[in-house]
Amino acid sequence: MEKKTIFSGIQPSGEPTIGNYIGAIRNWVELQENENYENIYCIVDMHAITVPQVPKDLRRHTLELLSVLMASGLDPEKTTLFIQSHVPAHAELTWVLNTLTYMGQLNRMTQYKDKSKRFEDSSINSGLFTYPVLMAADILLYQADYVPVGEDQRQHLELTRDVAERFNNRYSPTFKLPEALIKEEGARIMSLQDPEAKMSKSDANKDSYLLLLDDPDAIRRKIKRAVTDSVGVVAYNDEQKGIKNLLNIYASFTNEDIGNIVDRYEGKGYGVFKEDLAEVVVEALRPIQERYNDLINNKDYLEKVYKKGAEKAEYMANKTLRKVYKKVGFIPR
């Protein structure tokens, strides 16, 4: 049986949160261990610059993220790990796909609507608007079958399929139509300060997220401050969104049934539950952080990994790009 291709991307726009880990990275590691899949994971620095970045921070965050991915268990011997800007085909295919994407469709993207709210109309850059087209190019270049993402990316995946289908219809079958792979449970980790909002590394309030590289004291402090409610009973329901989110985090790290956890805290207050949760998170992150510290200090090795990744990715991507250029009527050089 031919292997199915898995592709996903993650932005180096800050330090990764446990939301990124639970919603994305951890699933990627699991997929890597399945021998029916060929895995490709990309650090999307070109997506990151759709919002202002400090260049030296972007460079640092990119290498940090590569180290985090490897520390979390992604193995460059089994999986292709690369940096988006190293493979020019991403920008090149984006241009072609731009000509097949309708403004109206991009206008309906909820992530665009949310992100552009932060800027004056006159300073929304067009990269933010065409962000989903670059994402479509990422995926389609590798003829991916499955794209593991968080729930928030579902709409972008639908756009990717639409654009691919439009290309296939207008020219001839070229792109595989990718499917989103979205895990229901723990799919969305919410802010510790506002359980209605997604936990995000770009949140202005640092107490709202737990970073994968937070030290134990920071983890304990932030969990202690996490917003709960006045009910005072550890229970899993939508009236107690703060506690529900904390239970999701707990269960994600222990792989325990949420019902069991709730039973264990019967008659105990939020304080005890939060203290225990903090220890669960500290212990779960400890081995990742230890491996991270080794990797981040080994720049030569990191360079070897991303260079080899780019070579492998470029070979696959160019195969698709050459077909596309030919079909749209460009003359081969």
Cβ-Cβ contacts under 8 Å for 101 (sequence gap 6 or more): 130, 132, 133, 136, 159, 163
178 binds ligand AMP (CB under 6 A): no
**Which residue type does 98 have?**
N
* Whole-angstrom distance, CA of residue 221 vs CA of residue 298: 31
Show the binding pattern over residues 116-135: x = contacts ligand TRP (CB under 6 A), - = does not: -------------------x
SS3 state of residue 184: coil
The closest of 44, 35, 46, 19 to 79, measured between CA atoms, is: 35
Site residues for ligand TRP, 144-173, by CB under 6 A, read 147, 149, 153, 156
Q: Which residues are catalytic?
A: 115, 198, 201
Piece of the chain touching ligand TRP by CB under 6 A; list 1-9, 194-202, 274-282, 307-315: 1-9
16 binds ligand TRP (CB under 6 A): no
153, 240, 245, 248: which one contacts ligand AMP (CB under 6 A)?
153
Piece of the chain touching ligand AMP by CB under 6 A; list 20-28, 96-104, 124-132, 219-227: 20-28
149, 211, 280, 282: which one contacts ligand AMP (CB under 6 A)?
149
Planar angle of CA 46, 91, 153, nearest 5 degrees: 55
**Which residue type does 41 have?**
Y
Structure tokens given for 225: 């401050």
The residue with its CB nearest to ligand TRP is 9
Planar angle of CA 247, 155, 35, nearest 5 degrees: 70
**Interface with ligand AMP (CB under 6 A):** 10-11, 19-20, 22-24, 149-150, 152-153, 188-189, 198-200
**Interface with ligand TRP (CB under 6 A):** 7-11, 44, 47, 135, 138-139, 147, 149, 153, 156
